[in-house]
Amino acid sequence: MSKFLLKNVSLLGEAPTDVLIQDDLIAAIGADAAGKAANHDSAESVEIIDCAGLIAVPGLVDLHTHLREPGFEASETVLSGTRSAAAGGFTAVHAMANTSPVADTAGVVEQVWSLGLVAGFADVVPVGAVTVGLEGKQLAELAAMADSRAQVRVFSDDGKCVSDPLLMRRALEYVKAFDGVIAQHSQEPRLTEGAQMNEGIVSAELGLVGWPAVAEESIIARDVLLAEHVGSRLHVCHLSTAGSVEIVRWAKARGINVTAEVTPHHLLLTDELARSYDAVYKVNPPLRTQADVLALREALIDGTIDIIATDHAPHPDESKDCEWNAAAFGMLGLEIAASVAHDVLIASGKSTWQRFAEVLSHNPSKIGRLAQQGQAIAVGSIANLALIDPSQTRDAVSTESRSHNNPYLGLKVGGEVVHTIYRGYFTKRDGKVAAGGRNHAAPTDVNSAAKVSN
Amino acid sequence: MSSLKHLLSAADLSRDAAINLLDIAETMSSVNDREIKKLPTLRGKTVVNLFFEDSTRTRISFELAAKRLSADVINFSAKGSSVSKGESLKDTAQTLEAMGADGVVIRHPASGAAYTLAHSGWINGSIVNAGDGTHEHPTQALLDAFTIRRRLHGAASSGKDLAGVKVAVVGDVLHSRVARSNLLLLNTLGAEVHLVAPPTLLPANSSAWNAVIHFSLDEMLQTVKPDAVMMLRVQLERMNAAYFPSEREYARVWGFNADRLAMLRENALLMHPGPMNRGLEISAAAADSPNSTVLEQVANGVSVRMAVLFNLLSGERSIDNV
Ligand SMILES: [Zn+2]
């Protein structure tokens, strides 16, 4: 049995208090916590961790992670990706389906799910493909994935758009049977053939084929109307334009059951960076303009956008170390998300830690129907926490991913994640990710840990 | 004014640097008129023509320019299956670096490839962009400016810019590296730039471009009365991508034919970077008219490329005693 007392920690920016964690649960908060820690049986040790100056938020939950396993282990594995997640304060990640084989059967989603269990750094929640092989032709066996041990609720062909309107309608209808949601990568394929970057002033100058905002917005407009018509849930992945914000705002006002996500990079970076022709800035959907960035930041604050999701997309060096056209789309995100949220919500003075917890924990858990994640920091809740130091700036490095396509290198960012507690286990402590995951550390170490701390 | 390390974009050239290159090209042109068309300037230097895309004309022009400066020239044609993957640009560059290339003239189907090569750290030599995707082709802009300046000023060209000269660029602006480089260089030299194209073949957002946009070639010819009209080559595959309905319609509305030739000012230049699609963007009567500068452009291309290689590789900023 492990016990930790987090001393003088601020819960979501409130006055400092103490939190007692026992095994995988929050056992006590406030004076009660200190009391229980002091009084308990001397055979058990309580480790006291000074958390003065740190903000506790519920463990972060990513609705959009590319873990690359099975199939692309040179870029990332479930283990390396969840270590990166732990480094970023995450206690759950949704693993996107574009692996090889594609996660379009119960067998593959269960494989990914069990790899997550073995790794023990975060809950790995598989996303199922909407269509067989992501090919947009035939629905995958969605109910089989929903009923599997992985209990899939989020379905997405991410990387590709379910562009066929009939197929999209059917998918939205079908997942109502098990309270699922279709997470759409909104990209009209004909309008984006050969597209390389945002279509605008910069693409005109650079001679790179444009990816117009309308290719995203037209799909979102269609999909919210389909969701309304069939009375189902739609989730919009990585919304990137000011126009998309307007459509989602309209749809929500109309009562349509739609949620939307924004990535850290679309909240911070613009298409001006493409002038370097450095493919680390190549991503899909592309970096947009400063006006779009500002609209997305406002929408995250006002609730039009529900969550930040990373779209963490590792790629090997050779996929980026080349001319722009030949490079792969995607960038790392797990280890920057908390800092970008801190920048947009807290450092700006425009929002609160409560909102921070909503966009990075409560809301993604609700969308993914994860009962054991995104819980309030309260007695009896599962001890999933991220402890953040808002006073320090740090280099925006990525330390745990197997890949290096980090567009934030060289930036100084705030909101460092100091500790990550995943089901009562420190996956990150004092800025360092644990050597081993929760599962193989826990059963064997109970006795020895008690002896050492006595 | 110092010599350039690379020539990647027409935007790399200040007004003075551009005029200096055009003036050096004038001197080179006089060499090209001599019986022995050769200078010893780049003896011992190695120039690699690295072509990832077929363009016999451009390659021959650079090859001739380098040889007339006594450089050793290697033609490296990298088109084909072995270079279909992106990393090969890096591998190829490092191979050339190991061989000791002083200058690399690169033609590549990807926009930005020359920039990437110059800024990657893969190679130390000077890079000349001989056309990168739909981005730029700066030596084409230099030879076009040289051609205009010569037609307007003749033997008195040296030292002059193109202030007040009205130049119209007509055709597939969207996909044209010639148009982008010309827009930049003509602006630098003080010319007034007009772009004429069907709306589908203009960038969706050209608001940052310092040019007047026209959809009607006839209206432009009548109202602007340009000093030079530059016709762009039309790629036939554009028709299949719905940029325009048919060759016939394109030729009728945006092609340069005998009727439009009659609308030109007497001494106006009719330019084309070649190779021409006769009967599509330009009619035979127009292409072979006295206004046409097509063959002058080819000859001037060698002089201009000699000037660029001289500037980048000789370490000297101007040319005397040749
Ligand atoms: Zn996507």
Residue B46: strand, helix, or coil: strand
The SS3 of residue B266 is: coil
Q: Do A203 and B112 touch (CB under 8 A)?
A: no
Give tens-digit pLDDT for A134-157.
Answer: 999 999 999 999 999 999 999 999
pLDDT at position B187 over 70: yes
Position A412: which residue type? K
Same-domain pairing of A27 and A92: no
pLDDT of residue B2: 60
* Structure token digits, residue B301: 């291309």
Secondary structure element (H or E) that encloses residue B276, with its range: none
| From A189-203, B50-64, B80-94, B234-248, the region with the lowest mean pLDDT | B80-94
Q: Is the pLDDT of residue A414 over 90?
A: yes
Number of structural domains chain A divides into: 2
Q: What CATH number is attached to the domain comprising A427?
A: 2.30.40.10
Please give the radius of gyration of chain A, using alpha carbons only, rounded to the nearest integer: 21
Residue contacts between A and B (CB atoms, under 8 Å): 79
Least confident range from B234-243, B267-276, B307-316: namely B234-243
Residue A238, token pair as written in the block: 């990585």
- pLDDT exceeds 70 at position A315: yes
A165-168: Cβ within 8 A, 24+ apart: A165/A222, A165/A226, A167/A130, A167/A131, A167/A136, A167/A137, A167/A139, A168/A222, A168/A223, A168/A226
Give the pLDDT confidence of B240-298 residue by residue, as tens digits: 788 999 999 999 999 999 999 999 999 999 999 999 999 999 999 999 999 999 999 99
CA distance linking residue B189 with residue B162, whole number of Å? 5
**Which secondary structure element, helix H or strand E, spans residue A218, and what is its range?**
helix A213-230
Helix, strand, coil abundance in chain B, percent, nearest 5: 45, 15, 40
Q: Which whole number is the average pLDDT over A342-365? A: 98
Closest CA relative to residue A359, chosen from A155, A57, A128: A57
Length of chain A counted residue by residue: 454
Q: Are residues A47 and A126 in the same domain?
A: no
Query: Are both A136 and A165 inside the same structural domain?
Result: yes
Q: What is the pLDDT of residues B83-106, one digit of tens each?
A: 455 558 888 889 888 989 999 999
Predicted confidence band at A445 (pLDDT cuts at 50, 70, 90)?
very low
Q: Do A205 and B180 touch (CB under 8 A)?
A: yes
Which residues of chain A have a CB within 8 Å of the CB of B206?
A: 204
Return the percent helix, strand and coil in chain A, to nearest 5: 35, 20, 40
Q: Which domains does chain B have, with CATH numbers?
A: 10-137+299-313 (3.40.50.1370), 138-293 (3.40.50.1370)
A22 with A117, same domain: the answer is: no
Rank B92-101, B125-134, B230-239 by mean pLDDT and report only the highest: B125-134
**Cis before residue A58, ω within 30 degrees of 0?**
no
Q: How many CA atoms lie within 13 A of A116 on its CB side?
A: 27
Q: How far is the CA of B238 from the centre of ligand 1 (A)?
A: 29
Q: Residues A108-119: pLDDT tens digits?
A: 999 999 999 999
Instruction: Assess whether B137 carries a catalytic annotation.
Output: yes
Nearest residue, CB atoms, A204 vs list B90, B108, B205:
B205
- Has this prediction a pTM greater than 0.95? no
Residue among B113, B205, B207 whose CB faces A323 most closely:
B113
Which residues of chain A lie closer than 8 angstroms to B134, CB-CB?
A: 207-209
Interface of B with A (CB under 8 A): 85-87, 89-90, 108-113, 115-116, 119-120, 132-136, 177, 180, 203-209
| pLDDT score of B317 more than 80 | no
Smallest Cα–Cα separation from A103: which of A143, A79, A69, A80? A69
| A447 occurs within a structural domain | no
* Residue A105 and residue A21 in one domain: no
Token pair belonging to A114: 């069990």
Residue A274: CATH number of its domain: 3.20.20.140
Binary contact (B90, A322; C-beta < 8 A) = yes
pLDDT in tens, A318-328: 999 999 999 99
Instruction: Tell me: do A64 and A49 sit in the same domain.
Output: no
Domain that holds residue A20: 3-55+378-395+411-433
Quote the percentage of chain A above a pLDDT of 90: 92
pLDDT digits (tens, 9 = 90+) for A120-133: 999 999 999 999 99
What is the rounded distance in angstroms from the CA atom of residue A198 to the CA atom of residue A272? Answer: 10
d(CA B147, CA A328): 41
pLDDT in tens, A328-351: 999 999 999 999 999 999 999 999
Phi and psi of B41, rounded to 5°? Answer: -55, -45
B136 DSSP assignment: B
**H helical segments located in A231-361:** 242-253, 290-302, 337-341, 353-357
In a domain, A454, yes or no: no
Nearest to B218 by CA among B176, B257, B174: B257
Instruction: Decide: A405 and A320 in contact? Cβ < 8 Å.
Output: yes
Residue with tokens 């930005």: B112
Question: Do A37 and A119 lie in a common domain?
Answer: no
> Taking CB atoms and an 8 Å limit, are B110 and A210 in contact across chains?
no
Is residue A39 located within the same domain as residue A87?
no
Looking at the structure, tell me whether residues A49 and A123 fall in a common domain: no
Query: What's the CA gap between A393 and A412, in Å, rounded?
Result: 6
Strand partners, A449: none
- Report the alpha-carbon distance of residue B210 to residue A296 in Å, rounded: 31
- A42 shares its domain with A74: no
- What is the Cα–Cα distance from B200 to B215, expressed in whole angstroms? 10
B204/A199 Cβ within 8 A? yes
What is the residue-averaged pLDDT of chain A? Answer: 94
Residue A96 sits in the same domain as residue A41: no
Q: Say yes or no: A201 contacts chain B, CB-CB below 8 A.
A: yes
The pLDDT score that the predictor gives to residue B32 is 81
For residue A339, count CB atoms less than 10 angstroms from its CB and return exposed for 0-12, middle for 13-18, buried for 19 or more: buried
Residues A293 and A428 in one domain: no
